[in-house]
């Protein structure tokens, strides 16, 4: 009995965690919402403090929740409750270019190029179609065999109802021939309105996508039976994996480009802006970027047409 009592009495006493301060938590929430532009429909929950590796600071987890999904972000709060810090830990042992696996994906351009442009693409997205027109042939014509291009699937299924079906059909073609995959992607990106149709009937869009895939396969002498089986199965596994990868990279819209791991804005990036990033990647790889073509000279100002009130000599008429 005495031994048991001594054992209990010798244990280190842990102070109970301090009760949360509602006023402080509200200040933290308002600051986080304002600083990081958190949408109004996102709930912000302040968690319990934990020890950190930084002297004078504790870890403060903050959870952001919306539509059944949540993300926990660790902040640091000073012991005197006067400073809130958000730090990102970056792993320098890994090459950012390796964060996006491209094995098995169709490649456009020189397969041995040192610079890879990866585009997270949605085949129903009009901004993706615009970016596609910028990338091909403008960017390829500028860099020739110095750059290769790879598309990863990220269909925004909530707003683009036939994007997933298009991605599956494209991958069915890619399984047989990478070049035919690109032909299909070229066509769909250039004919989105045709696929949607004037009445926006989804089954008609699916039929159109399947018909386009079969036409491309027939033109390029692919195995039509294999293609039909793949189209009928509509296996979304690979596309779902690609979407999860996009989410892990915080891709929140399409198109989103990465050049050797470096993210390039969001949306339809102007070609010259993309080229700045490609040039930087080429220099890092030990290659000199191609020179930019000089801008076209300005057109001479238009000469005004002779006034109808003047005669053939140029003098005012009677």
Give yes or no: residues 79 and 224 share one domain: no
Q: What is the CATH number of the domain that holds 193?
A: 3.40.30.10
Q: Indicate the pTM of the whole model.
A: 0.71
Tokens matching residue 228: 């039909």
Residue 310 covered by a domain:
no
Q: Is residue 118 within 8 Å of residue 258, measured between CB atoms?
A: yes
Number of structural domains in the chain: 2
Tens of pLDDT, residue by residue over 106-116, are: 999 999 999 99
**Where are the alpha helices (H) located in 146-266, listed in sequence order?**
163-174, 178-190, 192-196, 202-219, 224-233, 237-248
Report whether pLDDT(82) > 90. yes
Same domain flag for 76 and 100: no
Structural domain ending residue among the three candidates 61, 85, 109: 85
With the C-alpha atoms ordered 59, 60, 63, 64, is the resulting torsion angle positive or negative?
negative
Return the pLDDT at 306. Answer: 54
Note the pLDDT tens digit of each residue in 5-34: 333 334 344 445 567 789 999 999 999 998
237-295 tens-digit pLDDT? 999 999 999 999 989 899 999 999 999 877 778 888 899 999 999 999 999 999 987 65
278 with 131, same domain: the answer is yes
**Residue 294 belongs to a domain:** no
Whether residue 62 has pLDDT greater than 60: yes
Domain co-membership, 26 together with 114: no
Dist. CA 151–CA 159, nearest whole Å: 20
Domain enclosing residue 232, as ranges: 96-284
pLDDT greater at residue 35 or residue 2: 35
Instruction: Clarify whether residues 106 and 61 are in a common domain.
Output: no
Q: Which residues pair with 84 in a beta bridge?
A: 77
Average pLDDT rounded to a whole number, residues 144-170: 97
Give a yes or no: residue 8 inside a domain: no
Distance CA 157, CA 154 (A): 9
Task: Based on the fold, state whether residues 139 and 230 are members of the same structural domain.
Answer: yes
Residue 170: exposed, middle, or buried by beta-carbon count in 10 A (0-12, 13-18, 19+)? buried
Q: What is the pLDDT of residue 177?
A: 98
Residues 35 and 110 in one domain: no
Residue 66 lies in a domain: yes
Check residue 312 and give its pLDDT.
45
């Amino acid at each position: 009995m005495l031994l048991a009592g001594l054992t209990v009495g010798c244990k280190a006493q842990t102070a109970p965690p301090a009760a949360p301060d509602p006023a402080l938590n509200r200040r933290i929430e308002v600051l986080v919402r304002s600083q990081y532009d958190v949408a109004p429909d996102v709930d912000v929950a302040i968690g319990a403090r934990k020890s950190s590796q930084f002297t004078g600071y504790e870890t403060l987890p903050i959870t952001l929740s919306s539509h059944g999904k949540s993300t926990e972000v660790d902040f640091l709060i000073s012991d005197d409750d006067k400073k809130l810090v958000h730090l990102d830990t970056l792993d320098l042992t890994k090459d950012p270019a390796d964060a996006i696996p491209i094995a098995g994906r169709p490649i456009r351009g020189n397969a041995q190029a040192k610079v890879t442009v990866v585009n997270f693409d949605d085949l129903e997205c009009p901004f993706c179609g615009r970016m596609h027109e910028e990338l091909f042939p403008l960017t390829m014509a500028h860099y020739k065999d110095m750059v290769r291009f790879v598309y990863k699937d990220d269909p925004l299924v909530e707003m683009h109802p036939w994007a997933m079906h298009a991605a599956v059909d494209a991958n069915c073609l890619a399984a047989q021939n990478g070049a035919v995959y690109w032909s299909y992607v070229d066509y769909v990106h250039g004919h989105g309105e045709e696929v949607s149709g004037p009445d926006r009937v989804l089954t008609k869009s699916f039929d159109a996508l399947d018909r386009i895939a079969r036409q491309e396969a027939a033109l390029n002498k692919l195995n039509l039976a294999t293609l039909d089986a793949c189209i009928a199965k509509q296996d979304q596994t690979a596309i779902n994996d690609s979407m999860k990868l996009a989410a892990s990279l915080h891709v929140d819209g399409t198109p989103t480009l990465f050049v050797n791991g470096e993210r390039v804005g969001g949306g339809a990036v102007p070609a010259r802006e993309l080229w700045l990033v490609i040039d930087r990647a080429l220099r890092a790889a030990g290659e000199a970027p191609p020179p930019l073509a000089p801008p076209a000279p300005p057109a001479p100002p238009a000469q005004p047409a002779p006034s109808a009130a003047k005669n053939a000599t140029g003098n005012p008429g009677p």
